[in-house]
Amino acid sequence: MHLFLLILFIKAPGGNLKTIQEINQKIKNGDAVVVTADEMTSIVAQNGAKKAAEEIDVVTTGTFGAMCSSGAFLNFGHSDPPIKMTKTFLNGVEAYSGLASVDAYLGATQPSQNPEIGLHYGGSHVIEDLIRGKEVELIADAYGTDCYPLKRVETSITLDKINQATMINPRNCYQNYAVAINSTDETLYTYMGTLLPKFGNVTYSSAGTLSPLINDPYFNTIGMGTKIFLGGAEGYIISEGTQHATENERRNGVPVSASGTLMLQGDMKKMNPEYIRGATMPKYGPTLYVGAGIPIPILNEDVATRTAISDEEIICKIIDYGVPRRSRPVIRETNYKELKTGKIEIDGIEVPTSPLSSYKRAKMVAVELKEWIEKGDFLLTNPVRPLSSKGNSVKPLEISKPSVLVKNIESKPVIMAYPGEKINDVAKKLVDNNINHLPVVDNDGKLKGIVTSWDIADGVAKGKSKLDELMTRKVVIAREDESVDIIARRIDKHNISGLPIVDKENIVKGMITAEDISRLIGENLKDENGGESI
Q: Looking at 62-66, 82-86, 442-446, which range is the least confident one?
A: 442-446
Beta bridge partner(s), residue 307: none
How far lies 362's CA from each of 22, 60, 313, 390, in Å? 28, 11, 19, 28
- Judged by DSSP in three states, 165 sits in strand
Cβ–Cβ < 8 Å for 245, 106: no
Instruction: Say whether pLDDT at 417 is over 60.
Output: yes
Residue, of 472 and 359, whose pLDDT is higher: 359
For residue 534, is pLDDT > 60? no
CA distance 246 to 386: 13
Counting residues of the chain whose pLDDT is more than 70, the rounded percentage is 94
Other C-beta atoms lying within 10 Å of the C-beta of residue 525? 12
Using alpha carbons, select from 58, 211, 83 the residue that is nearest to residue 142.
83
More confident residue, 80 or 471: 80
Enter the pTM of the model: 0.84
Cα(258)–Cα(317) distance, integer angstroms: 10
CA distance linking residue 42 with residue 309, whole number of Å: 10
Statement: residue 302 has pLDDT above 90: yes
CB 237 within 8 A of CB 222: yes
Average pLDDT in the 65-70 region?
Answer: 97
Catalytic residue among 68, 147, 173, 316: 147
In order of 180, 437, 447, the CA distances from 467 in angstroms are 38, 13, 14
- Asked if the model's pLDDT at residue 172 lies above 80, the reply is yes
Which of 74-88, 168-182, 246-260, 417-431 has the weakest average pLDDT? 417-431
Q: Please say if the pLDDT value at position 100 is more than 50.
A: yes
3-state secondary structure at position 313: helix
Half-sphere exposure of residue 276: CA atoms within 13 angstroms, side-chain side: 30
Other CB atoms within a 10 A radius of the CB of residue 447 amount to 21
Bond into 81 cis (ω within 30): yes
SS3 content of the chain, % helix, strand, coil (to 5): 25, 30, 45
Q: Check residue 469 and report its DSSP letter.
A: G
Contact 196, 110 (CB under 8 A): no
Residue 4, pLDDT > 70, answer no
420 has a pLDDT exceeding 90: no
Handedness of CA 354, 355, 361, 365 (dihedral sign): negative
Q: Is 68 a catalytic residue?
A: no
Residues 230, 236, 238, CA angle at the centre, nearest 5°?
Answer: 130
Please give the backbone phi and psi of residue 294, each rounded to the nearest 5 degrees, phi first.
Answer: -125, 130
Q: pLDDT tens-digit profile of 222-240?
A: 999 999 999 999 999 999 9
Strands 188-190, 223-224: pairing is unpaired
Residue 413 CB neighbours (<10 A): 7
Banded pLDDT at 408 (limits 50, 70, 90) = confident
Instruction: Identify the weakest region by mean pLDDT among 72-86, 308-322, 404-418.
Output: 404-418
C-alpha of 481 from chain center: 25
**Residue 126: φ, ψ to 5°:** -65, -45
CA distance linking residue 281 with residue 417, whole number of Å: 40
Which amino acid makes up residue 281?
A: M
| pLDDT per position as a tens digit, 112-142 | 999 999 899 999 999 999 999 999 999 999 9
Residue 298 Cα distances to 9, 54, 109, 112, angstroms: 14, 8, 37, 45
Q: What is the pLDDT of residue 6?
A: 45
Q: To the nearest whole number, what is the mean pLDDT of the chain?
A: 91
In angstroms, what CA-CA distances link 278 with 90, 124, 128, 307, 485? 14, 4, 6, 30, 31
> Is pLDDT at 419 greater than 60 in this prediction?
yes
pLDDT at 5: 41
pLDDT of 251 over the 70 cut: yes
Contact 264, 254 (CB under 8 A): no
Residue 76: count of CB within 10 angstroms of its CB: 24
Burial class (CB in 10 A: 0-12, 13-18, 19+), 289: buried
pLDDT, greater one: 356 or 503:
356
Q: How far apart are the first and last CA of the chain?
A: 64
Q: How far is CA 120 from CA 27, 89, 112, 113, 131, in A?
A: 44, 16, 8, 11, 19
Say how far apart CA 361 and CA 65 lie, in whole Å: 9
Find out whether 209 and 340 touch, Cβ atoms under 8 Å: no
Kind and range of the H or E run holding 386: strand 385-386
| Rounded-to-integer distance, Cα 227 and Cα 383, Å | 9
Radius of gyration of the chain (CA): 28
**Burial class for 29, CB neighbours closer than 10 Å (0-12, 13-18, 19+):** exposed
- 502 vs 337, higher pLDDT: 337
Nearest Cα to Cα of residue 388 among 197, 184, 224, 210: 224
299 versus 433: the higher-pLDDT residue is 299
166 vs 235: CA distance, rounded Å = 10
